[in-house]
Structure 1
Amino acid sequence: MVLKKHCFLFFVLFGFQKITAQKKESIHTDTLKAQKLSEVVISSLHINNNTLNTPASIGILSKKDLVQNNATDITTVINTIPGVFMQSSNFTTSRISIRGIGARTPYGTNKIRAFYGSIPLTSGNSETVIDDIDLENINQIEVIKGPLSSVYGAGLGGAILISPQISKEETAGVSSVFGSFGLLKNNLHYNLNQKNASLNISYHNLKMDGWRQNSAYNREGITIAGELFKQQNSKLTYFSNYTFLKAFIPSSINKETFDNNPKSAAATWLASKGFKEYKSTLGGLAYDFKINENTNNSTSVFINYKDSNEPRPFDILRQYTFAAGARTQFSGNFKINTIENKFIVGAEFFSDNYNGNTFENLYQQNNGNGSLAGNQLSESTQKRNFYNLFSQIRTMLSAKFEIQAGLNYNKTQFELKNYSLNATQNYSYDGIFSPQLSILYKPNEQQTVYFSASRGFSLPATEETLTSNGTINPEIKPENGYNFEIGGKFYFFNKSLYTELNAYRIQIKDLLVSKRVGDDQYVGINAGETLHQGIEITLNHTKQINSFFTLSSYFTASLGNYEFQNFEDNGNNYSGNKLTGVAANKINSGLSLNTKYRIYLSADYQFVDKVPMNDGNTAFSDSYSIINLKTGYQLEILPHLNSQFAFGINNVTNEKYASLILPNAVGIGNASPRYYYPGLPVNYYATISLNYLF
């Protein structure tokens, strides 16, 4: 009943919503002419570049979507995509799940692959981090939901594709964000575009004192991207990003502390002044060229380096990772009689070398000055590599009917050296084939219905393959599952209303369960099956009210049923229980009013249902609703110089909620489990920017 009331209320208040697989019109419009929703162009690495012709649910976040709040936190924006649930605390600890997949990961994001341009952001250890890249350096984000793309590795959860910002104009600008709890972000950028080359360089610094104890945050980075040797049939694209981060960690708290003093940090993390610190560098080159009239090639190489230090109450962890790889992809078209076909075929190779050390943390002997390194406790190195072979074909049997099919083959192996045990082990998984088949029917140019069936897999993190004494458990197998999806995409009323509706069913076998055997030590077992099924709704509407006002509104909803099947752990039978760590139902809605005088008002709303916090379903977080408001003004100072001012309030009603849940937290001794990372209370921000177009 509660969910039905929320759906009805926001259909009435906000009209029809936006599809996140659709590009929103600018809310800072210069004129108020009648607006139509434009068809969005997706990555050129897909089998086609139009979402209407894609038999899959793909969430799209445009440049304007990404900076629609305060341009500091991606969580608010990415949660507008139905089926995607991102939980985050203090910018540093986050988890993304897609259709419930990845929800039980204790920390971080796995079971999802991510790319920055052609550079993988997912490590060989299956961990994905997208928070390091400044939102103002991103042109577009695409979220492929489910294992529907053989081209990007057929991951169970899907893939996140981040397009770097590459300007086609010569511009320079500066922007600042000021906010509650010491929030300060400064950004400088310069874009140069010439006939044969382009340069985009950006620097940002993001700081926050934090509203909880031990939660100060500081991140700075520089991004360089552009194109070289641009010709009619070829170009060389380059990307690089450097990030320095130091973020203190308040950690999770129990129910009593969450209710009475959510500003508190966990006592041991506060005493040790625990934090995360790292330097990361990624870079890559991509060469695109046209072989002939019917065939193109895109080939890229990349490197990714990370050096991190994390003092924790129970030890100090130091890690070094260096990754490198290459990817090549041929695409084109051909005809068989009168039937037109498009194809993609290619290969991807990835390798990384990891070194990890732990040391005693003698913070209790350091007179309240925080962490202090003692004797070395352990050291291990890992070499991890895999290759993907992939292909996809699109056959247009007629103007209205087409078939798409794909196949991915993955082979993964790794080597582990445990210096404490003086042991070296090599292990590899059997090759995995992941097929995909889709049928698409297009009754007219503005409507599409489709059906897709696909198989995906998720490789275990290295820690999940280890026994409690640090040796490889050869019995661990990758999770795998089949996805079935049916959906439709429709434009109505002269393309002023876009609607998307889909239903899916994913059954995952060989479910990996992380069992805690120490303060930060987990082992994995294949313990059962999960069922993920649901409906996703997306709506986007724009309407010119009169010569002064234009109204845009959006609505997305995820209605899911995620549960365990045939799942037993430690003698407990959890079959039929709700899946841990994810809200089954989620609603987002928004409204923006644009005026002739470049003043705009916007509001967005999010409802998140209760979240099961343990496998036994004996504890749930409360459902919550968040309302955010923003107003702004664009000013043209000179013919080539413009400025923008904005003011916003997030969490207007001061809702108390958990922005991140630690699944299956275990209390130590008589202490209650520490499930909760509290979300920000009501907070305010202001932005100012200057941009000059040469």
Structure 2
Amino acid sequence: MAVPTSRPAWAMALAALAGTAQAQTATEPNRDAALSPVVISGSRSPADRFTAPGSVDVVDGSELRDGQLQINLSEGLRRVPGLVIRNRENYAQDLQVSMRGYGARSTFGVRGIRLFVDGIPASAPDGSGQAANFPLGSADRVEVVRGPLANLYGASSGGAILLYTQDGARPAEWRLGAAAGSDGLWRLSTQAMGQTGTPQAPGWSYTLDVGTFATDGIRPQSAAHRSTANARLSRALDDGRVTLVFNRQTGFAQDPLGLSRAQFDADPYQTTPEATLYNTRKSVSQTQVGLAWDHALGQGHRLELMGYAGQRQVWQFQAISAGVQAPPRSSGAVIDLNRAYWGWNARWRWLGDWQGGRLDLSAGLAADRQTDERRGYENFVGSTLGVLGALRRDETNRATSLDPYVRAEWARQDWTLTGGVRWARVDFTSTDRYIVPPNGDDSGARSYRGTLPVVGVRQAITPQLQWFASLGRGLETPTLNEAAYRPGGVAGLNTALNAARSTSAELGLRGRGRDGLWSATLFDIRTRDEIVVQNNTGGRSTFQNAGRTLRQGLELSGEVSRGEWALSGAYTYIRARYRDPFLTCTTSRCPDTVAPTLIDAGRSMPGIPQQQVWAQLAWTPAWAAPVGGVFTLDARHTGRVFVNDSNSDAAAGHTVLGLGLRFEQVRGDWTWREFLRVENLTDRRYAGSVIVNDGNGRFFEPGAGRAVFVGLELSRRF
């Protein structure tokens, strides 16, 4: 396995590691905060990753909020190794998230990584998802599962991110928060948590989180606003518990598009003319409900049931020229997507003592379904651009999954053994209703199957030192959007696109002492039929399979604290390479009139930084104790990122510094919290993210310059 040799990167890694690991709590979590019937937990206890037979990291909800804007999930998860999560400064495309290389090809949204909120999937059966509806203001914790254990969540589970909201308790609490800063950004939010009834006869526990934010954006044509509402009700029954969740999200965002190399070098904060010419923009509306119920059957047996349903509507105006839309099989440049989705999970579980340890057995069946009513329109009427034009596409796309699974875990103080298997089945169908000669019927269907076994082991060498290892197989299907276009960019289900199949392994060592924690993990991922971009021009992406790939890497993390000082850090090295040559398109009009480009074996996979470092130094001086003062200085280094498969260009490596101050005062039942944060302290100009394999050459999305934010929160307990 290749290892990093860059001295500057290793110096930063060692400085970040002085003790190492992500914010870890030793306390047992509130088990009522999770809808446990929904997914298979990767560890014996959701928050106890120290005894997990794999890579499981937990970020406490307070870390997502204290001194943070509470707008993007990327704010609090930078400390997790192996995870690349970027705010693209483009709310029309959501965050850019990848984990050990999974999801790096995505040009918008999240791909290949499973997302959950209170156990309800925020990912569709086809593997696509969005993190915009994660309620950071009421989060109890976020769990990040990497490596083979993530395969237990089903197909397209290169990793998993699970957020659990706080559970209402006594005394009740109310919070009101506000933040504002550079580029016209502001946020208002409020949370209410509590419990009805009396202490002797408790009733419903409730959590309500409502918020809104807006920004002018860092570039022209990048303004956005979003509103969210999340509610959770739960109640203990005689032999179980029932939980209800509700989520509502609406948003609008302009799309500034990417920049070419020449544009980025001249002025990274400009907007490409096509964005304003076509008024590129996106609006989203989503509503979701969920219900979970579990019941104790006696003698350690439990029955756990969950169901959910939702509706998502998207309007998006793209910058595709009228000439490109002229061919009869073009689907236009305006997307009208109306998605209905639902799912359920039924599980039997048994917990009991066996052979000196605790045995946890479970078996269940999970089903999910999405139905996309998709229409496409021209983005012009006569000479007027950026408006709704003639219909060019009308079809129904469906993705369904039906997965039986079993899992067993045996644990005692010095050993944990886990094993499971999930039989993944994903079916795609497309029914075309836009049949206007010479455009024929583009209906089609495709099915994907896979057996996903996982095994893991953890052994305590000493009470403070442990090793762990896990091995598993994964299946990544294309998303409906990735399979929606055939080579050449014409509409119609791409039935030639196969699922990627992988074998992944990891070996880790972790320890803890009086002053801190640390962990180190090696991983190896071998994939065949890797899904890659075949062409990406004018907002239209087509995909293909590229043979075998190899991803190998190292993750280090930790934290140490002494007196008034605390140091935390995380380092990731990954070498991601194509093992087989293949052909791809690097310009528009390919492959119809322009010949494809040969990608040689050994090329780096684009969108994946080879090295990433995060470090934070926190100072809590005694003289600031009366006002609860904490001062932080953090550094984030990202290595070079190739923009395409041919590796012809790359976003340069960069280091960004951040400075934070936060205060807290408690006066009886009232608590005041204030913060000041400066991002990009040195006003570094850099590419914060890249659009992989863009056929127009607009690869680069700039990171924000120096920005100052302030915030205030008032809370009261009743």
TM-score (norm 1): 0.91
Q: Which runs of 5+ in 1 are unaligned?
A: 24-36, 545-549, 668-672
**In 2, Cα distance between the equivalents of 1:293 and 1:626?**
55
Alignment of 1:13-92 (within 5 A): 16=18, 18-20=20-22, 22-23=24-25, 45-46=40-41, 48-49=44-45, 50-68=48-66, 69-90=68-89, 91-92=91-92
User: For residues 6-36 of structure 1, what are the alpha-carbon distances to aligned partners after superposition, in whole Å with 9 as ceiling and x for unaligned?
Assistant: 4425645x6635522624xxxxxxxxxxxxx
**In 1, Cα distance between the equivalents of 2:215 and 2:493?**
41
Alignment of 1:130-209 (within 5 A): 130-153=131-154, 155-169=156-170, 170-194=172-196, 195-209=202-216
Shift of 1:78: 2.0
Q: What is aligned with 1:417?
A: 431
Q: What is aligned with 2:715?
A: 691
Q: What is aligned with 1:590?
A: 616
Is structure 2 residue 641 aligned with structure 1 residue 622?
no
Q: What is aligned with 1:33?
A: none
User: For residues 306-345 of structure 1, what are the alpha-carbon distances to aligned partners after superposition, in whole Å with 9 as ceiling and x for unaligned?
Assistant: 1111122222211100101101222222455656522122
Q: What is aligned with 1:427?
A: 445
Q: What is aligned with 2:348?
A: 330
Is structure 2 residue 247 aligned with structure 1 residue 241?
yes
Q: Is the 8 A contact 2:144 2:159 kept in 1?
A: yes
Query: Which SS does the other structure have where 1:528 is aligned?
Result: coil
Q: What is aligned with 1:219?
A: 226
User: For residues 142-168 of structure 1, what are the alpha-carbon distances to aligned partners after superposition, in whole Å with 9 as ceiling and x for unaligned?
Assistant: 111133145411545111111123232
User: For residues 438-485 of structure 1, what are the alpha-carbon distances to aligned partners after superposition, in whole Å with 9 as ceiling and x for unaligned?
Assistant: 122112333321111100110112244342443434432210100111
| 291-300 or 113-122, which deviates more | 291-300
The one-letter amino acid paired with 2:618 is: S
**In 2, Cα distance between the equivalents of 1:341 and 1:633?**
45
Q: Is the 8 A contact 1:413 1:426 kept in 2?
A: no
Q: Is the 8 A contact 2:376 2:394 kept in 1?
A: yes
Q: Is the 8 A contact 2:152 2:452 kept in 1?
A: no
Q: What is aligned with 2:407?
A: 392
Q: What is aligned with 1:482?
A: 503
Q: Is the 8 A contact 1:83 1:536 kept in 2?
A: yes
Query: Which SS does the other structure have where 1:374 is aligned?
Result: coil
**In 2, Cα distance between the equivalents of 1:644 and 1:585?**
35
Query: Which SS does the other structure have where 1:55 is aligned?
Result: coil
Q: What is aligned with 1:279?
A: 285
Shift of 1:518: 5.1
Q: What is aligned with 2:540?
A: 521
| 167-176 or 679-688, which deviates more | 167-176
**In 2, Cα distance between the equivalents of 1:263 and 1:84?**
27
User: For residues 264-320 of structure 1, what are the alpha-carbon distances to aligned partners after superposition, in whole Å with 9 as ceiling and x for unaligned?
Assistant: 212111122211101111110111222224122321110121111112222221110
1:337–1:8 CA distance, 2 compared to 1 (3 A)? closer
User: For residues 633-685 of structure 1, what are the alpha-carbon distances to aligned partners after superposition, in whole Å with 9 as ceiling and x for unaligned?
Assistant: 2122x310111111110000111111110111223xxxxx1111111000001
Q: What is aligned with 2:664?
A: 634
Is structure 2 residue 585 aligned with structure 1 residue 566?
no
Query: Which SS does the other structure have where 1:60 is aligned?
Result: strand
User: For residues 98-138 of structure 1, what are the alpha-carbon distances to aligned partners after superposition, in whole Å with 9 as ceiling and x for unaligned?
Assistant: 11122122332211111111211112342110123332132
Query: Which SS does the other structure have where 1:82 is aligned?
Result: coil
| 426-435 or 180-189, which deviates more | 426-435
Q: What is aligned with 2:586?
A: none
Q: Is the 8 A contact 2:126 2:426 kept in 1?
A: no
Q: Is the 8 A contact 2:151 2:157 kept in 1?
A: no
Q: What is aligned with 1:345?
A: 363
| 142-151 or 199-208, which deviates more | 142-151
Query: Which SS does the other structure have where 1:210 is aligned?
Result: coil
Query: Which SS does the other structure have where 1:78 is aligned?
Result: coil
1:21–1:149 CA distance, 2 compared to 1 (3 A)? farther
1:426–1:615 CA distance, 2 compared to 1 (3 A)? closer
Shift of 1:528: 1.1
Query: Which SS does the other structure have where 1:442 is aligned?
Result: strand
Q: Is the 8 A contact 1:61 1:78 kept in 2?
A: yes
The one-letter amino acid paired with 1:377 is: R
Q: Is the 8 A contact 2:220 2:256 kept in 1?
A: yes
Q: Is the 8 A contact 2:560 2:568 kept in 1?
A: yes
1:652 equivalent among 672, 678, 681: 681
Shift of 1:571: 5.5
**In 2, Cα distance between the equivalents of 1:7 and 1:41?**
38
The one-letter amino acid paired with 1:145 is: R
1:651–1:683 CA distance, 2 compared to 1 (3 A)? same
**In 1, Cα distance between the equivalents of 2:381 and 2:261?**
27
Query: Which SS does the other structure have where 1:181 is aligned?
Result: helix
**In 2, Cα distance between the equivalents of 1:7 and 1:153?**
36
1:680–1:59 CA distance, 2 compared to 1 (3 A)? same
Query: Which SS does the other structure have where 2:274 is aligned?
Result: helix
1:401–1:248 CA distance, 2 compared to 1 (3 A)? same
Q: What is aligned with 2:588?
A: none
| 143-152 or 594-603, which deviates more | 143-152
| 120-129 or 450-459, which deviates more | 120-129
The one-letter amino acid paired with 2:672 is: S
Q: Is the 8 A contact 2:114 2:157 kept in 1?
A: no
**In 1, Cα distance between the equivalents of 2:254 and 2:356?**
63
The one-letter amino acid paired with 1:60 is: V
**In 1, Cα distance between the equivalents of 2:348 and 2:287?**
28
1:411–1:650 CA distance, 2 compared to 1 (3 A)? same
Q: Is the 8 A contact 1:352 1:384 kept in 2?
A: yes
Q: Is the 8 A contact 1:17 1:556 kept in 2?
A: no
Indicate the RMSD between aligned Cα atoms, in angstroms: 2.2
**In 1, Cα distance between the equivalents of 2:176 and 2:139?**
16
Shift of 1:608: 0.2
Shift of 1:520: 3.0
Query: Which SS does the other structure have where 1:5 is aligned?
Result: helix
Shift of 1:434: 0.7
Shift of 1:428: 4.1
The one-letter amino acid paired with 1:620 is: A
Q: Which runs of 5+ in 2 are unaligned?
A: 197-201, 321-332, 584-595
Is structure 2 residue 260 aligned with structure 1 residue 254?
yes
Query: Which SS does the other structure have where 1:8 is aligned?
Result: helix
Q: Is the 8 A contact 1:150 1:392 kept in 2?
A: no
| 111-120 or 456-465, which deviates more | 456-465
**In 2, Cα distance between the equivalents of 1:635 and 1:21?**
23
1:555 equivalent among 548, 556, 569: 569
Query: Which SS does the other structure have where 1:591 is aligned?
Result: strand
The one-letter amino acid paired with 2:445 is: Y
